[in-house]
Structure formats: C-alpha cells, structure tokens
C-alpha cells in the first residue's frame, strides 16, 4: 500500500475513533482494524500513539480552520464576515456526531501528560483568536473585541457539546451583534 494512502487511512480512522469516543478509549489495534492498514505499516507511519494523536490534531486543525475561512470569505462586507463565524459554528454543531472541540477534548484527556497535545490545543486556539482579530480589525472594531468574541465562540462550542443543541451558536451570534453595536459598529 502506498505510504500516503496508508497515512490518510490511518488519520481518517483515528479522527473518527478519537473524536467519537476519546483518545484513551481507543487502542492502536482498533485504529489498525478500522483503517485496514497493517500494524507494521501503522507503526512505520506513527511510531507511537502519541505521534498519531498529534498528527490527527494537526490535520484536524488545518481542515477546521480552512472550512471556517472558506465559509466566512463567501460573505460580503467585514461585519457580516465576523457574524458568519457564528453561523458556521451553528452548522458544525448541527452535524451528526458533533462532540465539541477535539482540541479541548484531547487536552482534557492528555494535556497534563502530553506536551504535544497541549501544544496542539494551544496553537489551535491561538490561530482561531488571531483569525478573529483579523476579522474584527477589518471591521474597524477595537482589538479587545476579538478576545470577547473568542470567548463567546468557545463558550458556544462547549455548551453545544454538553447540551446537544446547535442553539448556543445563535445565542453567541446575538451577543456578538450586541458587542459590535456597543463598539459603534452596526451589525
């Protein structure tokens, strides 16, 4: 089997299983079975489970941020782009199998013992915050608004995961609109 195909199959299986059930609940043999890749090839690609977890998180980060940016870029105007973040979150929350933030989930399981997982979670959150800062700057909003919007989004993600409802995205969007208006930017 081509090494790139094997790697992608392994990462696909890891993402489905780790996100769906948790990192610690899934063993390497289960990843092997779900991917159809031999155990030997699995360990050639990822010498340890920690390596596989880190690769899964890195790939998920890239795909998550690209999907969000593509959705937001379809909106016309800086203020609608800021609010589109919350619309995108609503769509994500409504997807079958939504289990919250993969980075917070992995951090909760392994952040205290895995510097790589902790770093991946921090980098993901920092990149998301930076993206919100770019959007709010484009909208002419004060810099502190990005941090406030990040907290709204993170709270919505967690609340949606616990409640099983996409509604927290709508509530966070309303709060974001109010913040934008209070800062002199009509949403």
Per-residue pLDDT tens digits for 69-124 = 999 999 999 999 999 999 999 999 999 999 999 999 999 999 889 999 999 999 99
Q: Is residue 166 within 8 Å of 179, Cβ to Cβ?
A: no
Axis crossing angle, helix 115-138 with helix 49-73, rounded to the nearest 10: 10
Whether the full predicted model's pTM is greater than 0.95, yes or no, is no
Report the C-alpha gap between 166 and 94 in whole angstroms.
5
pLDDT 10s digits, 113-158: 999 999 999 999 999 999 999 999 999 999 999 999 999 999 999 9
């Amino acid at each position: 089997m081509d090494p790139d195909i094997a790697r992608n199959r392994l990462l696909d299986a890891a993402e489905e299983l780790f996100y769906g059930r948790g990192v610690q609940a899934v063993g390497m043999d289960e990843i092997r079975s779900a991917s159809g890749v031999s155990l030997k090839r699995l360990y050639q690609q990822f010498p340890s489970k920690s390596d596989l977890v880190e690769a899964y998180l890195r790939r998920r980060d890239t795909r998550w941020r690209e999907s969000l940016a593509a959705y937001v870029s379809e909106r016309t105007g800086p203020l609608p782009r800021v609010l589109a973040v919350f619309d995108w979150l609503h769509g994500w929350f409504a997807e079958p199998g939504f289990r919250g933030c993969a980075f917070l989930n992995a951090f909760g399981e392994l952040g205290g013992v895995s510097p790589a997982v902790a770093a991946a979670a921090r980098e993901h959150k920092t990149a998301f915050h930076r993206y919100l800062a770019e959007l709010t700057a484009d909208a002419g909003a004060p810099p502190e608004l990005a941090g406030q919007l990040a907290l709204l989004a993170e709270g919505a993600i967690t609340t949606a995961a616990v409640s099983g409802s996409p509604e927290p995205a709508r509530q966070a969007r309303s709060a974001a609109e109010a913040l934008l208006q209070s800062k002199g930017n009509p949403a």
